[in-house]
């Protein structure tokens, strides 16, 4: 949501632009703890995960993964964790704060590695071998937990190993598995050419451009697209008023 104020006093034109983006309003968890809401605009899970750091291209990026609970909330909202899995992981996290903190650090490191691999590819820069190593290390652990399970009728589905049901402790790194797999699938897919960085100033969010003529520019036209329209409007006004 954007508000533009134009005040004229003593011949001086003061233009104040207040931009309240959808993402930051929804991501604000406030003083009373409630589940953080994530904007899922990436098109694939790994890009939505990369976008858990906002305003990446500014000197004040906003971190949405402030806690392991945020990581669980992201996984559930992205449809990668079932509600009962989320609850089991939350209970486990409460009993093991040290490993929980370490797992959150791993998640952030994986996110940054995926971002690095993608951003160097988009910019046609030399590959970052360390970032690829981090991704492959997590991918190796993730794929060892991949299973085939019976589904409706005679069919089968890919699924992830579940903990906690038979009394075992659910693995805290569970939210990382689909993220690593999603990144590997995207990097090896022709869709890699369609990964873009939002044109919004400072935004830095990534998305998969699935528009027919590859013309998508914004993470969201109501957010960065709208800010750009306001910016252009004010620039035109400054020119016409001068």
Three-class SS state of 180: helix
Q: How far is the CB of 196 from Zn ion (least distance, A)?
A: 10
When the beta carbons of 18 and 157 are compared against Zn ion, the nearer one is 18
DSSP tally for the chain: helices H, then strands E? 8, 8
The CA angle 102-179-222, to the nearest 5 degrees, is: 110
Q: How far is the CB of 175 from Zn ion (least distance, A)?
A: 24
Tokens 């134009």 belong to: 6
When the beta carbons of 163 and 200 are compared against Zn ion, the nearer one is 200
Residues that bind Zn ion (CB under 5 A): 198, 200, 203, 205, 219, 224
When the beta carbons of 54 and 182 are compared against Zn ion, the nearer one is 54
When the beta carbons of 71 and 197 are compared against Zn ion, the nearer one is 197
Q: How far is the CB of 144 from Zn ion (least distance, A)?
A: 36
Partners of residue 82 on adjacent β-strands: none
Q: How far is the CB of 56 from Zn ion (least distance, A)?
A: 10
Three-class SS state of 117: helix
Report phi then psi at 199, rounded to 5.
-80, -5
């Amino acid at each position: 949501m954007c508000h533009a104020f134009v005040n004229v006093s003593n011949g001086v034109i003061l233009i104040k632009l207040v931009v309240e983006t959808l993402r930051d309003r929804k991501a604000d968890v406030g003083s009373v703890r409630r589940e953080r809401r994530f904007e899922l605009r990436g098109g694939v899970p790994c890009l939505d995960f990369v976008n858990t750091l906002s305003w990446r291209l500014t000197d004040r990026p906003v971190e949405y993964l402030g806690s392991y609970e945020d990581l669980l909330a992201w996984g559930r909202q992205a449809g990668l964790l079932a509600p009962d899995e989320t609850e089991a992981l939350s209970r486990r996290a409460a009993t093991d704060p040290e490993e929980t903190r370490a797992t959150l650090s791993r998640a952030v490191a994986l996110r940054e590695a995926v971002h690095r691999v993608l951003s160097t590819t988009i910019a046609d820069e030399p590959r970052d071998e360390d970032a690829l190593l981090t991704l492959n290390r997590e991918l190796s652990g993730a794929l060892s937990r991949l299973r085939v399970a019976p589904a409706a009728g005679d069919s089968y589905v890919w699924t992830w190993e579940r903990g906690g049901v038979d009394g075992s402790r659910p693995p805290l790194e569970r939210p990382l598995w689909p993220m690593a797999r999603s990144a590997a699938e995207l990097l090896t897919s022709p869709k890699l050419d369609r990964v873009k960085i939002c044109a919004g100033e400072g935004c830095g969010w990534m998305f998969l451009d699935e528009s027919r003529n590859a013309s998508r520019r914004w993470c969201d036209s109501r957010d960065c697209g709208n800010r750009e329209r306001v910016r252009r409007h004010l620039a035109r006004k400054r020119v016409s008023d001068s």
